[in-house]
């Protein structure tokens, strides 16, 4: 009896199993690469959404900032305080708090602008305009913070200075409102953009 040097059934089975193992490795490698790409894509989308949410939160903080300290009627100052000295100190502290809040919001805005690849895109440009308006509000609050301390102790002087401060704030706040609306429109457009950072 002579021996056939060809393959028998066990060799065929081994070859099929080796081929299936190799195919399994290739499929697993493909799934791994696909999974990594999908994970990165999801991370990019999540980062973009978080970034846009941070901008929206920042805009809300700006909108709420000065409204927190406003009395409905400036003449309420006389009723709220026992004497002019207390009113002066109160409005000095309020102006200081507003100044600190302006500076905090300005720094947060600068951080947001730095996140963009191109600072010449429409959204970072609008944020820079808003930062200039915040800087002007900071100057107003700093000026009146100092002016309240130098006033003589009578309610007329306090109310006059408070009216001047409110008039200057209202001018800046009108610009602020327009700028905030423009930025919110940009943010809502970018929610559907594929990439912008």
**Residue 17 confidence (pLDDT):** 92
Structure tokens given for 145:
């913070």
CB 98 within 8 A of CB 158: no
Q: What is the pLDDT of residues 83-135, one digit of tens each?
A: 777 778 888 888 888 889 889 999 999 999 888 888 778 888 999 999 999 99
pTM of the model: 0.73
CB 181 within 8 A of CB 106: no
Rounded Cα distance between 118 and 124, Å, is 8
Q: What is the pLDDT of residues 141-176, one digit of tens each?
A: 888 888 888 888 777 888 888 888 888 888 988 999
Task: Decide if pLDDT at 48 tops 90.
Answer: no
Rounded Cα distance between 148 and 96, Å, is 11
All residues at 6 or more sequence positions from 48 whose CB lies less than 8 Å from its CB, including other chains: 190, 195, 196, 197
Task: Kindly list the distances between the CA atom of residue 193 and the CA atoms of 12, 14, 58, 189, 196, in Å, as whole numbers in the listed order.
Answer: 55, 53, 21, 7, 7
**Residue 1 confidence (pLDDT):** 45
Burial state string for 127-138 with b = 16 or more CB within 10 A and e = fewer than 16: bebbbebbebbb
CB-facing half-sphere around the CA of 30: CA atoms within 13 A: 6
**Of the candidates 172, 182, 177, 166, the residue with the CA atom closest to the CA atom of residue 72:** 166
Where do runs of H (alpha helix) occur along the chain? 9-65, 76-80, 84-114, 122-149, 155-190
Q: Is 120 exposed, middle or buried (0-12, 13-18, 19+ CB in 10 A)?
A: exposed
């Amino acid at each position: 009896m002579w021996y056939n040097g060809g393959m028998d059934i066990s060799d065929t089975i081994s070859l099929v199993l080796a081929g299936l193992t190799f195919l399994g490795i290739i499929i697993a490698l493909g799934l791994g690469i696909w999974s990594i790409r999908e994970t990165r894509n999801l991370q990019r989308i999540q980062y973009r959404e978080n970034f846009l949410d941070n901008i929206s939160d920042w805009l809300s903080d700006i909108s709420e900032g000065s409204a927190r300290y406003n009395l409905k009627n400036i003449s309420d100052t006389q009723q709220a305080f026992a004497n002019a000295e207390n009113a002066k100190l109160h409005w000095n502290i309020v102006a200081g708090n507003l100044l600190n809040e302006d500076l905090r919001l300005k720094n947060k805005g600068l951080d947001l602008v730095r996140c963009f690849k191109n600072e010449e895109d429409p959204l970072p440009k609008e944020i820079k305009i808003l930062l200039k308006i915040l800087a002007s509000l900071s100057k107003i609050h700093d000026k009146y913070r100092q002016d309240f301390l130098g006033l003589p102790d009578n309610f007329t002087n306090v109310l006059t200075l408070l009216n001047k401060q409110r008039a200057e704030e209202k001018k800046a706040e009108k610009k602020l409102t327009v700028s905030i609306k423009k930025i919110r429109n940009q943010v809502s457009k970018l929610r559907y953009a594929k990439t912008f950072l």
